[in-house]
Structure 1
Amino acid sequence: MKKRTIRRSVLGGVVAGIISMWSGQAIAAAGCYSSDFIGPKMITDVCWNCVLPIRIAGVPMGGDGYYPEDAAKNPLCICKDGAGLPHPGVTTSMWEPARLVEFQRVPGCSSILNGVRFPFNRTFQGSHGNAEHGGGDKTFMHYHYFAFPLLAILNLFVKQSCNPDGYLDMDMMYMSEIDPTWNNDDMAFFANPEAAAVANPIATTACAADAIASTTGRPIKEMFWCAGSWGTLYPLSGNKVGNWSIVNDTSLLTARVLAALHRRGLAWKTSGKKAMCEGKIHPTLPKQQYKFTSVYPRPETKSAHVMGESTMKWGLARKVPAVGEDLVYMIWRWNDCCNY
């Protein structure tokens, strides 16, 4: 197994510097609200039951039994260290709270960071558009993607050898305001040309099968271009035509964020036998590897939902008019690890 090191994003360091510089001087902006997440809500608004099931040596313990189809099943494992020496271990698998993603109409606003606003102008102002207001019948929102290894932060369950990407604390990893493909569908297409293969009525219609499967709790992993009942993944941009609902639209954008980051090698596969010793680059979205909980404005604290699961099952009353329409989600990922 290759030697693991703690990775910290350059962008995260820049953000930390800005926050330090602005300590006590956060810029207020109309439409920029604080989630008050940094504080007691980091404990109270987390679905702790969602860690389950835990599998040790292939034996599941607790929970509803849902885990990816390709999850590691072998009870024992072997990984090599930096010197090439093998280490036998026990297969340990679980759901871990790994990331936070927030969606904002005000560029630079961060609800997660309690209402801090970074110095971006409103050139690409977001909207929950409809036919009468905003930018027409479409939605556009910016996003901020945070590392949030909560179990590592609390020093619970996770050994460093079972930390696939090395993050040990909260850190901003990506901001859509500096990504030109997020607000431009044409640039998103040229960055992800595989979209041409699924840009047809047949591929779109086929997503109905994924919508049914996702709502019953098992997304079809082979249909990489579908996000179940939420819609189609491509283009990998922040534009969503047709305003279904804020919860549905932000859920689809969450799937697009993960798909884009996997495509760029910035999100890794952590489930399956091949990922037991270290995370693997996986250019398509491993849909079954993830599940989600709403954090703000109304948290899910009893259960999680899978990718593409109908919002009729979990999304009712998850927003608050006016002051709670920029949602925050916690991203859970299945982690197969060789624990030695």
Structure 2
Amino acid sequence: MVSFLTTSMTVWAVAITITLSIAFLGASKAVADPGCQDAEVIGPKMITDICWSCIFPLRVAGVNISGGGGSIPDGAVKSPLCMCDDNQGVAHPGVTTSMWEPARLVEFQRVPGCSSVLNGTRFPFDRMNQGHHGEAVYDGGDSSFTHYHYYTYPIMQMLDMFVKQTCNPDGFMDLDIMYLSELDPTWNNDELAFFTNPESAAVANPVATLACTADAVSSTAGKPIKELFWCAGSWGNIYPLSGNQNGGKGVIRDTSLLSTRVLAALHRRGLAHGTMGRNAMCGGNIEPTLPKTQYKFTMLHPVPETESSHVIGESTLTWGLGRTIPAIGQDPIYMIWRWNDCCNL
């Protein structure tokens, strides 16, 4: 009971600190703006709207200790023992531990500067580059564009659950903003995005596009094909790594594809790390190409997924029906899960 109260106090202390920090920095909150919603992420939803069963399976020394259920991604470490060097270069033996870890949040907003994660806070960006979902002619036709904000959200470290500090691949311990698309000129310009990812020219052809059909089928079965790095299964093509899309396919499918583009862009820039496989056992490593099988998602807002998760490219028909609310719930927030292989010393 004491441990539970201590944990609760820690969570609320983190929430209060974040809120006061935002106020101190002078961020404005548009209470009367219907386009900027409060997702109430900082609060009870930190517990109630998370798919806790999605953590499983837990693996220790190569053995599942959580029973059946769950899935282990291709490329995960299978060996029971491992070894890592300390700060002095001395090798120490350890035991392999692996699990799905809720680590990041990404939100998509039509209103520039709106942060539903931070309780409806509005950052001082003008609305010249307003986003749209593109579901009607008056709303941009078939094209769509949304901004994104990328947050660290190591909820298990914040609640002091399961994960040791030595198994924290990038060292983040609390909710923090990592990236704002409003500050990135490549997010609203396809040509600039191409120059930062020139390999997209090699897969901009009908044959490469046709290959994505196989990835769509495999992803819907829960197994993305990692070799097809340009495909996001049934969601579409990953390139270009910008926020523009043609042929609006609905809010859920469009933002799901954008969440994959976000991860691909941040991996290329070294802001997202590889946490799966033998090379990541002693800490996160640079993975310039998106490791698709390392990730899975759950929706956190507006209608949370609390019983299951979905992989990159999985058809929205299996998980996305009824996940938006007209007018007040069309700017989704996704929780990003990553498979964490760690050498527990």
Q: TM-score, normalised by structure 2?
A: 0.92
Structure 1: gaps of 5 or more residues:
1-12
Within 2, Cα distance between the matches of 1:306 and 1:126? 26
- Say which SS state the counterpart of residue 139 (structure 2) adopts: coil
Mapped pair 1:27 → 2:30: yes
Mapped pair 1:49 → 2:53: yes
The one-letter code sitting in structure 2 at the alignment partner of 1:80 is D
TM-aligned CA deviation for residue 52 of structure 1: 0.2
Within 2, Cα distance between the matches of 1:228 and 1:85? 44
The one-letter code sitting in structure 2 at the alignment partner of 1:112 is V
Quote the residue 1:109 is aligned against: 114
Quote the residue 1:146 is aligned against: 151
Mapped pair 1:135 → 2:140: yes
Percent identical pairs in the alignment equals 63
- 2:62 corresponds to which of 58, 62, 76: 58
**Kept in 2: contact 1:215–1:309 (CA 8 A):** yes
Within 2, Cα distance between the matches of 1:133 and 1:63? 50
Describe how 1:153-302 pairs up with structure 2 within 5 A.
153-302=158-307
The one-letter code sitting in structure 1 at the alignment partner of 2:76 is A
RMSD, matched Cα: 1.6
Quote the residue 1:337 is aligned against: 342
TM-aligned CA deviation for residue 237 of structure 1: 0.2
TM-aligned CA deviation for residue 18 of structure 1: 4.5
TM-aligned CA deviation for residue 164 of structure 1: 0.2
**Kept in 1: contact 2:84–2:91 (CA 8 A):** yes
Q: CA distance change for structure 1 residues 33 and 65 in 2, over 3 Å: closer, same or farther?
A: closer
Structure 2: gaps of 5 or more residues:
1-16
Within 2, Cα distance between the matches of 1:19 and 1:214? 42
Q: CA distance change for structure 1 residues 15 and 35 in 2, over 3 Å: closer, same or farther?
A: closer
Within 2, Cα distance between the matches of 1:65 and 1:131? 39
Q: Which runs of 4+ in 1 moved over 6 A?
A: 13-16
Within 2, Cα distance between the matches of 1:160 and 1:261? 23
Q: CA distance change for structure 1 residues 22 and 63 in 2, over 3 Å: closer, same or farther?
A: farther
TM-aligned CA deviation for residue 67 of structure 1: 1.7
Quote the residue 2:328 is aligned against: 323
Within 1, Cα distance between the matches of 2:88 and 2:121? 45
Within 1, Cα distance between the matches of 2:197 and 2:19? 28
